[in-house]
């Protein structure tokens, strides 16, 4: 009971962006070319065959939300790290845990690395053999062009999905959803946009 109450208070006090984060692929706004019913990524997800991939796009376009949703709709265990604050020793620990999990329960691990372009060549090299042997499915997020920032051997083993910058209509839709949502949004405050 205490956990439920704590989670409820945490979710109520979380920033609006965190509370309104998409919970299904259909909730993602402005990326229909990736999340639409017949898109290659959506077909892979629906078939349960999730490849290693890199999400490339401007800030605020849904890279992290998309990675979270993809792994939550599959049977993957998700490990998330930031290339800004993590290094090879943390990678080695996560890889060892992934191997153990795969051996014990058969559950695969998706390794999400936010801002992968911040990893240097040696750090990116440390991921490569584990992507090659299937220990992890790699998901990277970057605002930088992967062709220039990701080492060729790793890039060649990943699909690159480009997220578009949000258009005005997308931003209006996101704001309208937040203003009209009585549970997670701002509906109780009676706000409007013009």
pLDDT digits (tens, 9 = 90+) for 157-193: 999 999 999 999 999 999 988 888 888 888 777 776 7
Secondary-structure class of domain 48-163 per CATH: alpha beta
* DSSP H or E segment with residue 81: strand 77-82
If we measure between CA atoms, which residue out of 187, 190, 194 comes closest to residue 19?
Answer: 187
pTM: 0.87
User: Three-class SS of residue 142?
Assistant: strand
Q: What is the pLDDT of residues 93-128, one digit of tens each?
A: 999 999 999 999 999 999 999 999 999 999 999 999
Domains of the chain, residue spans: 48-163, 167-194
């Amino acid at each position: 009971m205490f956990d439920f109450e704590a989670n409820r208070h945490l979710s109520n006090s979380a920033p609006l962006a965190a509370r309104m984060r998409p919970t299904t692929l259909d909730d993602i706004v402005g990326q229909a070319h990736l999340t639409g019913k017949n898109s290659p990524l959506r077909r892979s997800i629906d078939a349960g065959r999730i490849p290693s991939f890199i999400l490339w796009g401007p800030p605020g376009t849904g890279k992290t939300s998309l990675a979270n949703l993809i792994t939550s709709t599959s049977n993957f265990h998700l490990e998330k790290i930031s290339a800004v604050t993590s290094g090879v020793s943390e990678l080695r620990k996560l890889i060892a845990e992934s191997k153990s999990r795969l051996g014990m329960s058969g559950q695969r691990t998706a390794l999400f690395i936010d801002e992968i372009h911040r990893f240097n060549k040696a750090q990116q090299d440390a991921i490569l053999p584990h992507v090659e042997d299937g220990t992890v499915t790699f998901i990277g997020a970057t605002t930088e062009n992967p062709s220039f920032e990701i080492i060729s051997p790793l890039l060649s083993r990943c699909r690159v999905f480009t997220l578009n910058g949000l258009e005005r209509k997308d931003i209006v839709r996101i704001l309208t959803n937040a203003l009209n949502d009585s549970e997670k949004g701002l509906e109780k405050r009676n706000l409007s946009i013009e």
